[in-house]
Amino acid sequence: MLDVLLTPAPFVSSFPYTDTLKVLEKWGPGCHFLGHGLDSSIDELETLLVTERAQNPHEPPVVALFTEFPSNPLLRSPDLERLRTLSDKHDFLVIVDDTIGNFNNVETLPFADIVVTSLTKIFSGDSNVMGGRYAVAFFPFHGTPVEPATRSLLLNPSRKHYATLKELLLTRYEDIYHDEDAIFMERNSRNFSQRAAQIDANAERVCDFLHAASQAHEPSPSSSPIAEIFYPKWQTAAHYAARRRRRPSSSGFGGLFSLAFSGQRAAEAFYDALACAKGPSLGTNFTLACPYTILAHYGELDWAAQYGVPASLVRVSIGLEDAGWLHKVFADALKAAEDALRAETNTGA
C-alpha cells in the first residue's frame, strides 16, 4: 500500500516506534518528521502545509499523516480534532496507530481515515502468536466489521477517501495468516476487555506511586532519581482525555509508561533491580521492561535525545500480577535508584 500512497511525502507526528519512521524515510519520497508530538508540532505542521500549498497550489501538500495514540515511548497524544480539521482543509489522510491506548480505552476512528492496531500486543497478551505481520485484517462493511484475524486495519466509512482505500485494499489483500495462529489469537482475545481493565488499574497504581515518590523530593527535584514519568495521565493529558471511551466502567490509560532518570547510574540501578521480565515488547500479560532508547536507537542516541528521548529511558509494560507484588518490585527498584544517586552525589562522581 505504501508505494501507492506515499507521493507526495507524508508527515510523521510525534516520536514514533522506530520502524514507522525508518520505513517512510527509506521507501518513497521521504517524509516530514515532527518528533516532539506537542501542540507546537501541529503549529509547525500547519505552517509547512500552507508553505507547500503556496509553492504548488494544484496538488495536496502531503498525502498522509501518521501518528500514534499515545506515542511510543513518550506516551504523548496528539490533538486529533485539530489534525482532522487540517486534513479536511489540505486533503491528506490521517493514519492513527492506537496500539498503546488500545481500542478498549480510546476511540480515534472518528478523526482518522485509517486506524491500525497490533493484535500481537494486549489484544493477545499471551506472547505465543504473532498478530502484527500483515497489512490488513478487517474493514467496516455496512457498519459490520469482519472478525479480526491479524493486525487490524479499520477504515472510516465517513471519510472522503474511504471508497478508494477500500477498493485498493480489497484488490491487494492476500490472506496468508496461518490457521493455527488465527485459532490461538481468537482464543487469547476472548477476555481482552477484562485483562485490559486490570492492566490499566495496575499501571495507574504503579505510576501514581512513582509520581508521588518523585514529588516527595520537592522542592529539590535533583534529589529524586526519577526526572520524568511519561504516562498519558500527565503527558498531553487533555488530548488523551478527549478520546477516552465513555462507559459505566471508565476506561484507563493503558499499560505502558516510560521513566527518564536524573542520571545514568540511577537508571542502571533501577533497571538492574527491577525484578520483572526484561525484553523489547509490550502488551504482555506479565510485566516487561526494557532500556528502550539503547535498544531502539543505539546508533543515533544524540538524535533521539533532541526529541526528548534520553539514553537512560526505561520503558515498562505492566501486566496482570498482584498489585502488592508490583508495588514491592517497583519500590525496591526505586530504592536502588535512590541509593545509586545518593552514592554518586556523595562521591562527587
Q: What are the residue ranges spanned by the domains of the chain?
A: 2-189, 192-347
* DSSP secondary structure letter of residue 218: T
Q: pTM, whole model, 2 decimals?
A: 0.88
CATH topology for 2-189 is Aspartate Aminotransferase; domain 2 (3.40.640)
pLDDT tens for the chain, residues 1 to 349: 233 333 456 777 778 888 888 888 887 777 888 899 999 999 999 998 999 888 888 877 788 999 999 999 999 999 999 999 999 999 999 999 999 999 899 999 999 999 999 999 999 999 898 875 443 433 333 333 333 334 688 999 999 999 999 998 888 888 888 889 989 999 999 999 999 999 999 999 999 999 999 887 655 555 799 999 999 999 999 999 999 998 756 689 999 999 999 999 999 999 999 999 999 999 999 999 999 999 999 999 999 999 999 999 999 999 999 999 999 999 999 999 999 999 888 876 5
Phi–psi pair at 46, nearest 5 degrees: -60, -40
* Cell numbers given for 194: 477484562
The CATH architecture assigned to 192-347 reads Alpha-Beta Complex (3.90)
- Cβ(120)–Cβ(108) under 8 Å? no
Q: Choose among 227, 289, 296: nearest CA to 257.
A: 289
Nearest C-alpha neighbor of 245 from the set 103, 119, 97 = 103
| Residue-wise pLDDT tens digits, 302-342 | 999 999 999 999 999 999 999 999 999 999 999 999 999 99
Q: Which residue has the cell 508530538?
A: 37
Cα 70 to its chain centre, rounded Å, is: 4
